[in-house]
Amino acid sequence: MYRMAWVVAALCVAPILAATLAALGGDLATWRDVLWSVLPRYTATTLALVAIVGSGAAVIGTSAAWLVTVYRFPGVRWLEIALALPLAFPAYVLAYAYTSLLDHPGPVQTLLRDVTGWGPRDYWFPEIRSLGGAALMLTMVLYPYVYLLARASFRQQSSNAFLVARTLGRSPLAAFWSVALPMARPAIVGGTLLAIMETIADFGTVAFFNVQTFATGIYQAWFGLGDRAAAAQLSLCLLTFALLLAGLERAQRGGARRASRGGARFEVLTQPRLTGWRGWGATAICLTPVLMGFLIPVIMLGMMAWGSGQSLLAPRYVNLMSNSVSLAAIASVLTVIGAILIGFRARTHPGRTSRGLVIGAGLGYAVPGGVIAVGLMVPLAGLDNVIDRFMEGNFGIDTGLLITGSIWLMVLAYMARFMAAALNAYDSGMATVPSHFDAIARSLGQGPVKLLWRVHLPVARTSVLTALLIVFVDVMKELPATLILHPFNFDTLAVQAYRLAADERLREAAVPSLALVAFGLIPVLLLCRTIGRESTAS
């Protein structure tokens, strides 16, 4: 069992190492071309996107979390749950909905021309297919990372600290800036870094809006130019940036834990009721991201799907859903089993080696899917060719794409990409199991297998189910790795939505997009149920 944990961790680290070795082993001429031709443009665009999305997610998530935690105003109980719903949307699906709404032939500009009588060149309208448009889409689906962490931090803060600041003459806003915000800084920064890592990993949104980032550059170098060396070298650049962010996020996570222990909540903070324009203003502030990130896109996609003439019950879409669900089910089960093996090894053998094992296995969450796909394709495509030549030369058998033409390569990529999500969910459940339970089970003659099966898994079954759901939906939404690795004649809902949208068939793309959102609602509603229980208990 313990050896299997090492095998799983090695499989998760292998694509990252392979991408690094492929980049370092590339031709120096290719390095020079990448350095002087595309690297400055990709760097500037990616940094601009990161700055806009990071600041937008931090402002929206923090302000909404503070309002629903501290004040009572119209609709607050509904809004504290609804603010998490945009997590169900892949950013590229949001891009399809808003393009149909705001583009030149869309209903907004059409109504504007009908009302004013203007012609197509008589007015200026913001261009949705731009860097700003991509940043808006990503901000709307990623601010819940900050919102959820900041809300948890505000609820755990000592009420006395805020009350002391108020008794010293500070206004509520001044007390927020001087006391509450500094105490919640680790959680806010941690959520912002998570949003930034998702931003640099995004491919579907920036590709649809024709925004040139590292993610689109890797895909274009691989498929457009057929230059695997350039794709690997761009992957290494993006990998370096992603791992730097991962280190910052881990440091902030530790800071958040320390901050949460800093003060006890000796008194319950009375929530003042906001009335009049203040109450409705708070409602408007919290309702706006829900409208833009969930309600409007769902309505638009529903209208587009209704007029597309397609049905999810058609044989083609049944096959797409079957492919997506079966692939996500296999990947989620194997990933969670791997997380259980690694987590069990780390619990029963604590120390630096186990910590290194967990960190190594979880590196993939900071690595974009395109980087992992390149790291797998470069060595395994070469291995496929070696096997094919050997079998053809010695036995006259054409093996073709034995490895890279199967879904198991995709499963391995998903395992490497989402192992951290499964590990975090499983560890959260195991944190509730006292360590002396292990000693009691061992004293009763229970070996490692029985200890895991009879003690750990029954206690952590809710966390295991949560891990399965999270990885399942993440695999359903994953686009760049799926585009690069999926075998011929094996399409998924995400691939179908991307291809239809790339061909400007947005109405038809709405059908698989709605299916993706429906699957994405499962873990979000589970999370909202937990939030509702917390509110009732408090």
Helix (H, G, I), strand (E, B) or coil at 273: strand
pLDDT for position 94? 92
- Residues 400 and 362: their CA atoms lie apart, in Å, by 33
Task: Please give the DSSP secondary-structure letter assigned to residue 88.
Answer: G
Residue 142 and residue 191: Cα distance in Å, rounded?
A: 9
C-alpha 255/C-alpha 265 separation (Å) is: 19
Cα gap 203→429, rounded to integer Å: 32
- Is the separation of the CB atoms in 204 and 369 below 8 Å? no
- 518: which 2 tokens? 């429906």
Distance in angstroms (rounded) separating the CA atoms of residues 4 and 9? 9
Residues 6+ apart with CB under 8 A from 217: 38, 42, 234
Give the pLDDT score at 105: 86
Cα 235 from Cα 42, distance rounded (Å): 12
3-state secondary structure of 212: coil
Query: Are 375 and 235 within 8 A, CB to CB?
Result: yes
* Tokens of residue 275, six digits: 């009335």
Start-to-end Cα distance in the chain: 42
How far is residue 260 CA from its own chain's centroid?
25
Task: Report d(CA 249, CA 118) in Å as an integer.
Answer: 50
pTM for this one?
0.79
Q: Which two tokens stand for residue 434?
A: 């006292």
Q: How many CB atoms sit inside 10 A of residue 236's CB?
A: 23
Using an 8 Å Cβ cutoff, are 16 and 416 in contact? yes
- Residue closest to 404 by CA, chosen among 413, 391, 396, 393: 413
User: Quick check: 143 and 293 in contact, CB under 8 A?
Assistant: yes
DSSP-derived 3-state class of residue 311? coil
Q: What pLDDT is recorded for position 26?
A: 63
CB 335 within 8 A of CB 425: no
The tens place of each residue's pLDDT in the chain, 538 residues long, gives 668 888 888 888 888 888 777 777 766 666 676 667 777 888 889 899 999 999 999 999 999 998 998 888 999 888 988 998 998 888 999 999 999 899 888 888 888 888 888 887 788 888 899 999 999 999 999 998 889 888 877 776 656 566 666 676 666 667 666 666 777 777 788 788 878 888 888 888 998 898 988 878 877 776 666 666 677 777 777 777 777 776 766 665 555 444 444 444 445 556 778 888 989 999 999 999 999 999 999 999 998 888 777 777 788 888 888 899 899 999 999 999 998 888 888 877 777 887 788 878 877 776 777 778 877 877 777 777 788 777 777 877 776 666 777 888 889 999 988 888 788 777 766 766 666 666 666 676 666 667 777 776 777 777 788 788 878 888 888 888 888 888 878 888 888 888 888 888 888 888 888 888 888 887 777 766 665 554 445 4
3-state secondary structure (DSSP) of residue 72: strand
- The token pair at 369 is 């899917």
What does the pLDDT read at residue 33? Answer: 67
Give the number of other Cβ atoms within 10 Å of residue 38's Cβ: 17
- Contact (CB, 8 A) for 133 and 127: yes
